[in-house]
A and B are shown apart, each in its own frame.
Chain A
């Protein structure tokens, strides 16, 4: 019996060492793409799968910098600040052989602006897209829009003819349960073509031999087998047993385990996501505390004291096992407007925090409820538990209420929490995006995630002016000014930047992408 098992084991190891078919990438993560329709859902894992088959005009490389994809050059039109001109790549074909032209770009933008599209908010400033010639497109916005290209990196191009022939000119009505040809089929210009797809089970893609960039990118993976594995322990087991070559959504506690296995490695990089606490400073009295008739959080000294009580290094070492970067501002490090100085502004000082609280008249402390998600961010509930103990040191009794994200987020958007955890990623890599959602006073379509009650009309006007300020130096100066206010007001208590961990077989050369969106065309095979 023993010899039999050894023989089986040996043959298995041999099979592992000589990778099956050599260039198949077996890739797993927690969730699946929700649909293949390029414009129906604006969601991370969905974009990631599409990026292998469809392409936008511009993509970001692993440092977050722009890289030409279907557009080779772009810039504002010389005589009209409201227009952006995009030069398209020549000789590009869709998977079905049709040529990619300006007409397809116009069609794709118009499709992405339809009511059912989930991408329409990102391109809300666009009033017209017109084809100048076969390889030139002009995009007209309702005013100067200096950061338009940042909003286009997940906006995929479709073939007009294919969409018309297959009756998918309209975006799938996702909520209405419509299934169109584009939901389950893909015809992009991307480096991989769709072979088969079973939602939530398996998606297989093959190398596109006619890809325009076939000589420019490694493209050494010839087949992708993408399988969502929901349970974290099973996901890691699949990697340890050699059934998966590449793993996203690695549980922090298993990093060392995977790293210790010969042939496997874990690579990490800062993620485009910052974790922080929000404080309701705007209300006259808040419900979640034990102070009657007053809101302790309205006093900036209390907010600063709370921030000083948080020991970010301890959270990094104990809760996150080193897998985080302590933060001093609520912008991820790649974002325009982030500075190393501001990101180092948080410090731990228990005595100073106590003194500040006493000065504010809360020397005896108070009690408050902290709302926290328990299935959204890495170790989210554990971070909140740590914060409970730290705030307790300065006399603030925190009652932790941790819930699934589906229950937690409505509390913030509907203003039912006074002290909450939130994480934020910045797809545009520009501070304006943060200000629009988290700093601007709450209105119907702006400030929607600002649960702090902070509402400063002067600052709001400044934030709104960013959208059309084409003088980039003046714009950056405004951004710095706004950040100064956010920092001085202690609007949020920054905790840390998340770190992404990707587990992989050493056979594959994979660089971690800060947006958690691997693009397989960059992957090399040793």
Chain B
């Protein structure tokens, strides 16, 4: 058991190292940061000096090594664009992304499960069919288009909701800022969180529906009905509970993609989170920010997968026997 976990952790670390290496080998193709950092009046001397100072004249493997060296000590370097420590900038931006992801995730889960159950129970009803048809939009339309359509409809045409930004925020504690406590902050959350959560919502809804239909066909549901148990209890206590196992797994994995997908939503709504920071970093060739962001996202995905793997061991005894079979 312990050996299994150690092996999995080791594999995860290896994956992280490789992700970093690939990322660093790609950075040179993004362009030359020096060009953005110095004005057009710079001299060749200035360029060489800065290039040496930032270590950009070194091979990428050396640059990567230096990054790792700093990263294990919690130092992610300095943003080329803002001239501030990357860790500070990411901490400052993280609350915006996490709040947006949390609201989107909650919306996706609540509406996804609710509508999924509804469309499964009333599978032939008109409403259910309409919901199913429109859910195709959520799956097939790209996020930026949904965002722009929502802005066009609710900000430009109707004028109900703000088209950009986070509204007024309130500072909590040392570094957390929240938009939950002001009216403009809450209003600003509506469109981006719908945009970000729509895909996940339709995904969960379709999954719940098909699982639910499967379960409703089972014998024990028929017997439950035959026993005269009320329809609501059958649907929610007996059927829904049994559909939740795969749904929970998918929700867990989708949590990571909500944060990663936030890049596009944040760009469309000028949401001041880490995704927007990353897009800015790419345009400016801000290597320290790009590196830190990519590592952070890969740590998150690898971490979630690791956790899922370990949880499976606890849930599924067969894995436990297999893994210690060599003894």
Contact = CB atoms under 8 A, between A and B. Distances in A.
Contact of B268 (A121, A231, A445): A231
Interface string B70-92: 00000001111111110000000
Contacts of B38: 118
A404 B36 CA distance: 11
A481 to B, nearest CB: 25
A122 B40 CA distance: 11
Interface string B143-170: 0000010011001101110111110000
A445 B40 CA distance: 11
A410 interface: yes
Contacts of A75: none
- Name the residue among B33, B34, B35, B45 with the largest chain A CB count within 10 angstroms: B35
A13 interface: yes
Contacts of B270: 227-231, 234
A437 interface: yes
A35 B82 CA distance: 7
B311 interface: no
Interface string B121-161: 00000000000000000000000000010011001101110
Contacts of A240: 155-156
Contact of A179 (B50, B84, B156, B160): B84
Interface in A175-223: 175-179, 183, 198-202
Contacts of A403: 31
B44 A445 contact: yes
A34 B82 CA distance: 6
Contact of B156 (A198, A229, A237, A437): A237
Nearest to B37: A175
A233 B149 CA distance: 11
B30 A229 contact: no
B42 A448 contact: yes
Contacts of A227: 164-165, 270
Contacts of A34: 81-83
Given A12-B160, A234-B269, A448 B43 contact: yes
Contacts of B285: 406
B45 A406 contact: no
B54 A175 contact: yes
B14 to A, nearest CB: 31
B303 interface: no
A399 B236 CA distance: 63
A410 B30 CA distance: 12
Interface string A1-38: 00001001100110010000000000000000011000
Given A35-B83, A448-B43, A231 B267 contact: yes
A405 interface: yes
A45 to B, nearest CB: 12
A202 B188 CA distance: 15
A54 B283 CA distance: 29
A177 B164 contact: no
A178 B88 CA distance: 12
A134 B107 CA distance: 65
A43 B159 CA distance: 35
Contacts of A243: 155, 162-164
- Name the residue among B35, B37, B270 with the largest chain A CB count within 10 angstroms: B270
Interface string A401-414: 00111110110010
The bracket for how many chain B residues form the interface is: 35 or more
Contacts of A375: 283
A444 B45 contact: yes
A380 B38 CA distance: 22
Interface in A428-476: 437, 444-445, 448-449
Given A177-B77, A227-B165, A413-B35, A199 B82 contact: yes
A372 interface: no
A234 B283 contact: no
A444 B43 CA distance: 6
B201 interface: no
A308 interface: no
A403 B40 CA distance: 19
Given A241-B163, A410-B31, A198 B272 contact: yes
B27 to A, nearest CB: 11
Given A9-B159, A228-B270, A237-B156, A175 B80 contact: yes
A28 B23 CA distance: 33
A387 B36 CA distance: 27
Contact of B164 (A121, A178, A229, A404): A229
A42 interface: yes
A172 interface: yes
B268 A177 contact: no
Nearest to A178: B83
Contact of B40 (A12, A199, A406, A437): A437
A235 B268 CA distance: 9
A200 B277 CA distance: 9
Given A178-B83, A238-B164, A407-B32, A230 B276 contact: yes
A177 B76 CA distance: 11
Nearest to A5: B158
Contacts of A413: 35, 47
B85 A177 contact: yes
Contacts of B39: 41-43, 118, 121
Contacts of A405: 31, 35-36
B264 to A, nearest CB: 10
Interface in B1-36: 29-36
Nearest to B48: A444
A74 interface: no
Interface string B283-299: 11100000000000000
A183 B85 CA distance: 13
A511 B81 CA distance: 30
Given A231-B267, A404-B31, A237 B83 contact: no
Nearest to A409: B35
A91 B215 CA distance: 84
Contacts of B316: none
B84 A177 contact: yes
B218 interface: no
- Name the residue among A9, A201, A229, A403 with the largest chain B CB count within 10 angstroms: A201
B249 interface: no
Contacts of A410: 31-32, 34-35
Nearest to B45: A444
Nearest to A177: B78
A483 B279 CA distance: 42
B144 to A, nearest CB: 8
Contacts of B29: 407
A43 B35 CA distance: 12
Contacts of B279: 230
B158 A9 contact: yes
B166 A201 contact: yes
- Name the residue among B41, B53, B82, B276 with the largest chain A CB count within 10 angstroms: B41
17 contacts: A12-B160, A40-B83, A177-B85, A183-B83, A198-B272, A200-B82, A200-B277, A201-B166, A230-B280, A231-B270, A234-B164, A241-B151, A406-B30, A406-B284, A407-B31, A410-B32, A444-B45
Q: Lowest 9 CB-CB distances: which A-B pairs, in order? A: A406-B31, A177-B78, A445-B43, A174-B83, A407-B31, A42-B39, A241-B155, A12-B159, A121-B41
Interface of B: 29-45, 47, 50, 53-54, 77-85, 148, 151-152, 155-156, 158-160, 162-166, 267-270, 272, 276-277, 279-280, 283-285
Interface of A: 5, 8-9, 12-13, 16, 34-35, 40-43, 118, 121-122, 172, 174-179, 183, 198-202, 227-231, 233-235, 237-238, 240-243, 375, 403-407, 409-410, 413, 437, 444-445, 448-449
